[in-house]
Chains A and B, each alone.
Chain A
Amino acid sequence: MKIRIAITVALFATGCSDHLKGQRRPEVGIAVAPVSIKGNGLGNAGPVQPVSGGVNTLGVTVPTARASIGRIENALEKRAPASTGNFARAIAQVRTNLPRVSNPKEASGFDQVQLLSYAACSDLTRGTNPLMQSVYGIQPGSSIANNEAALIAAGRRILDQNAAGLASQGPAATQVTTVLTNLVQAQAASGSNTSTMAFMAVCIAATTAGATLLGI
């Protein structure tokens, strides 16, 4: 009986909203007087600026040059800034070739985004205590197999930055993990690959997916 009551109360609370809230009448039988909005006029009827999403509200979009760079920075939590290192040099080299328009049907230069991702990811592998170790917990001197869990976690973390956390939680999390696991194991299968190379593959995949392929 208690359960039935609890279910009833819950459904009542969610299914039947408090629809009278905000419509309270001050006095029975008297309509609420219209209130003018200061500065409003017929010229302002309807949106005067493009609504969110622009004219292509139902379509996918791609980031153009500056946005691509920003998303790569974002994916790597600003630890590979666009102003220094390989990332900066790569930007100087390919900046004229990045996508110029956000419509995927007209844009080109996606390949250059991957090259930027490559350069930015490489900045995380530099030095005696590289950021891939201090931030993502990947031991450069250890095998890919030993680093597998950290590599997969790194991929999820990178993708999370441009996907609002959906890579590590939500209905796609399992599939994301599977993709990253397959990628890491493919790198391990090649005996000459190092953990640094495996990290690069993971980092490039997650960064480019988040920066370019999500359509948002």
Chain B
Amino acid sequence: MSYKARQNYKDLIDKAPHPTITRRELLKRGLATGFLSIAPSQMILGALSPKAYGATLTCPPTTMSLGAIAQIFSEGGPTMGARFIGDDQAGLMNATMAANYGITGTNLVRLGPNLNIDSTSPFGATLLQGPTGFPGGAAAWRTNVLSKLSAGGHRGPFNMDDGAGVNTGLLGGISAFKASQMSKDLRIGVRNKLANWATGLSSVSTNGGGLNSAGLARLFTVSPAPAGLVTPQSLTDASNAAVDLADALGTVLGTPTRNAASELKNSAGCAFYGNSTIADPNFGAALFNPGNIAALTSALTVASLSAAEQALLASYYQSARGIIGGVILQLGGRDYHDRDPATVIAPADIEEARALVMFLAACHAASAKGAFLYFSNGQAIASGVANVAATIGGVATTVNAPIARGDAGGSYNAGLVIFFDPISTPPTALMTGTVSDSGSVRVAAGIGSPQVAVSGLYLSALKWINNGSIPAGAAQAMGVANPSGITVI
């Protein structure tokens, strides 16, 4: 009854805040309000949901694109100059430059365009020796594998004294840019900051505990073991049902009309489908035990390799076949200055060269192209070499190891990419920057930062694997407007 009670309103307005309305008007307004509050939203959702969210999930086909891409990030400050030498450096080589690099300077061997090594250095000797059991031995290794290499790179931007650039984003990845069955990169020992564009790339990681095939197999197998719990088909059924359940609830939650809904559905849904493969209990072991891979056992004596080398060999092989994406390896403790040439520097250089040998053997076995990226965040300057005893692949020998005497921000360093072609001629690649008589280098204009160099070298690697064209979306994802300015092929 208070509704009809008359009151004397008199404050900001001169009339009652609510005009008198009839019952008929009240009903009319109530019905209109009710209709308008319910119908439009239902109509809009009904129209959008089949298109935006409830539509059939479209996942990219499983494609196994041949070609291996791998990276070593040598963390610390090694004598990078004692590893690879460009053609211009080789031409300028003198006693001062050789001493600064930590090589003899008198034993240079040219493997291919822009790719020279000192045959007596730990790194060079390891590359030349090749893997145990390679048919025809070291001579055939050089003819059939090492002669199919070339290199390019960006000199200078990685120089930071005492490894200061360790977290400037010198680690990358390729899983979004190169089609593979698992659509994942394998990161081994990666602890430092990745390039910004690489942080969101799909990957699996292993850190610590010793690198071995069984450990890698576990990364690609469901845990606990699937027997009695799931099969590849039941996991696919579960993935389908998960998407359907989300669709059902999406109409209530308004998901279809919200920004990035379709991206969520496609990214997550398609990622789920990829798991059905690893519901096979033998899948991981079949991938990463090189002893079970005929192409590898016929190319070298797998049993002669260390557990870590076997794991790397299999990883690189699966990257070459297009089963996994890239293999990103971080090797720490490479702060060489004042370290012992025999017990620290030579073994570390040999370890890195052996990783490259595994990469090349895997590409050769898979008859696939390869691109191997090689960065360090520092550089130690040397004062000549020390002849030391070393063991390479189980073979005792002597090598001329660098005597690293100090950090050398501003001296020789480069980000490198090494190209392998199993059949044809490898590309002639650029080595940007300049080098002086002492071996000190300067960065080229246009390579303004290590991040730019990393992007340029990854784009170069992708271009090589992708038969001369940069995969769609890669440059954009890296924020590179003009790739040709920073690629080396």
Contact = CB atoms under 8 A, between A and B. Distances in A.
A216 interface: yes
Given A89-B223, A183-B241, A201-B234, A115 B275 contact: yes
A11 B249 contact: no
Contacts of B219: 93
B246 A86 contact: no
Interface in B401-437: none
B134 interface: no
Contacts of A8: 23, 26-27
Interface string B215-240: 00011001110001111011101111
A131 interface: no
A59 B229 contact: no
B3 interface: yes
Contacts, number: 220
A28 B202 CA distance: 69
A163 B228 contact: no
Contact of A11 (B27, B203, B244, B259): B27
Interface in A191-206: 193-194, 196-198, 200-202, 204-206
Contacts of B261: 59-60, 215
A176 B245 contact: yes
A104 B249 contact: no
A20 interface: yes
A124 B233 CA distance: 21
A172 B271 contact: no
**Chain A's interface: helix, strand, loop or mixed, by majority?**
helix
A185 B272 CA distance: 21
B205 interface: yes
A114 B275 contact: yes
A161 B246 CA distance: 14
Given A104-B264, A170-B252, A171-B251, A200 B275 contact: no
A176 to B, nearest CB: 5
A67 interface: no
Contact of A213 (B33, B224, B259, B265): B265
> Which of A14, A15, A59, A60 neighbours the largest number of chain B CB atoms within 10 Å of its CB?
A60
A118 B245 contact: no
B394 interface: no
B207 interface: yes
A147 interface: no
Interface string A5-45: 00110011011100110000100111100000000000000
A89 to B, nearest CB: 6
A172 B10 contact: no
Contact of A86 (B223, B247, B258): B223
A115 B184 CA distance: 15
Contacts of B12: 31
B139 interface: no
A204 B237 CA distance: 10
B286 interface: no
A213 B243 contact: yes
A24 to B, nearest CB: 11
Interface in A153-186: 155, 159, 163, 166-167, 170-172, 175-176, 179-180, 182-183, 186
A187 B234 contact: yes
Contacts of A29: 10-11
Q: How large is the interface on B (under 10, 10 to 19, 20 to 34, 35 or more residues)?
A: 35 or more
A214 B243 CA distance: 9
B259 A58 contact: yes
Interface string A91-108: 001101100110111111
A19 B43 CA distance: 31
Contacts of A183: 237-238, 240-241
A14 B33 CA distance: 11
B274 interface: yes
B224 A60 contact: no
Contacts of B233: 190
Contacts of B235: 118, 201, 204
B248 A196 contact: no
> Which of B224, B241, B263 neighbours the largest number of chain A CB atoms within 10 Å of its CB?
B241
B6 interface: no
A111 to B, nearest CB: 4
A215 B201 contact: no
A56 B11 contact: no
Contact of A28 (B8, B199, B245, B247): B8
B18 interface: yes
A83 B487 CA distance: 47
Nearest to B27: A11
Contacts of B263: 104-105
Contacts of B241: 179-180, 182-183, 201-202, 205, 209
Interface string B269-311: 1011011000000000000000000000000000000000000
Contact of A197 (B199, B224, B234, B239): B234
B234 A200 contact: yes
A166 B395 CA distance: 68
Given A20-B17, A96-B207, A205-B245, A11 B26 contact: yes
A197 B229 contact: yes
Nearest to A194: B228
B330 interface: no
Interface of B: 3, 8, 10-12, 17-18, 23, 26-27, 29-30, 33, 187, 199-205, 207, 218-219, 222-224, 228-231, 233-235, 237-253, 255, 258-261, 263-265, 267-269, 271-272, 274-275
Given A60-B260, A93-B223, 13 more contacts: A16-B26, A59-B260, A60-B258, A97-B204, A115-B223, A119-B222, A119-B223, A172-B249, A183-B241, A200-B230, A212-B268, A214-B250, A215-B261
28 contacts: A11-B26, A15-B33, A25-B11, A56-B259, A58-B258, A60-B258, A89-B223, A89-B224, A94-B204, A96-B205, A96-B207, A100-B199, A108-B271, A110-B272, A115-B275, A118-B235, A171-B251, A175-B248, A176-B248, A176-B249, A179-B245, A180-B245, A183-B238, A194-B228, A196-B228, A197-B231, A205-B241, A209-B242
Q: Lowest 10 A-B CB distances belong to which pairs?
A: A59-B259, A213-B246, A205-B241, A15-B30, A104-B264, A111-B271, A175-B248, A110-B268, A110-B271, A209-B245
